A and B are shown apart, each in its own frame.
Chain A
């Protein structure tokens, strides 16, 4: 079983829509969680960390459910510039290794 699983999409949504991505992780010892954004032919960049209590950054909200071992990302009022691949990442600290999902592709359509 993969450490981190994501629905690859693609998600095609109109501007202004709300879209949600989910990600599941297999190891209950996972300690920290992140969402990264990757634009076409660019490197991944940190979008936001995910905290146990959930956190919000403008139009973006991240949630963590430890009991069910999933994290989510909600994007409200989608913009054309939100078009990218969104990567779910977990870290167990033991071994210092990060585990990446394969990414979910989002295209926001005018």
Chain B
């Protein structure tokens, strides 16, 4: 059974803080993804990675960076959190040509 875990379910941060969101998968998947989900906008891809130390920008990378030092772990970094980054953040992983499996999500509030 695939398991994708995220470090926090709920997070409250102040404007300007640096925020780290961690994601770990236990199925040796090559691909990992970070999305944010907002009402009416659906899932939007921030960044994805298809291998260790590799990263690709998604549709909305501005204000975010990522790190993939190990195959099982993919981190999303908000360098200086802003209120418009308040959202649900979802991590996912997949095999190279397979379906995605999602973590439970982190609901981030930036005040």
Which residues of A approach B to under 8 Å, CB–CB? Answer: 31-32, 34, 42-46, 49, 87, 89, 91, 93, 95-98, 100-103
Query: 7 A-B pairs, CB-CB below 8 angstroms?
Result: A31-B97, A32-B97, A42-B105, A44-B102, A49-B99, A100-B35, A100-B43
Give the dominant DSSP class at B's interface: strand
User: A43 to B102, Cβ gap below 8 A?
Assistant: yes
A43: contacting residue among B58, B96, B97, B104, CB under 8 A? B104
Q: Contacts of B42 on A, CB cut-off 8 Å? A: 87, 100-103
B97 touches A102 (CB 8 A): no
Total count of chain B residues near the partner, CB < 8 A: 24
Question: Complex Cα distance A102/B96, Å?
Answer: 24
Residue picked from A45, A46, A101, most chain B C-beta under 10 Å: A46
Closest beta carbon of chain A to B107's beta carbon, Å: 8
Which residue of A has the minimal Cβ distance to B43? A100
Residues from chain A with Cβ under 8 Å of B92 in the complex: 98
Contact A102 B41, CB 8 Å, known A43-B90, A95-B56, A96-B48: yes
CB-based nearest B residue for A34? B99
Ranked 6 nearest A-B pairs via Cβ:
A102-B42, A43-B102, A100-B43, A96-B50, A46-B99, A96-B31
* Distance (whole angstroms) from the CB of B88 to the closest CB of chain A: 8
Q: Which of B8-52 contact A (CB under 8 A)?
A: 31, 33, 35, 40-43, 45, 48, 50
Residues of the A chain whose Cβ atoms lie less than 8 Å from the Cβ of B101: 46
Not counting A96-B96, A100-B35, a sample of 5 additional A-B residue pairs whose C-beta atoms are within 8 angstroms of each other reads A34-B99, A44-B43, A96-B94, A98-B45, A98-B100
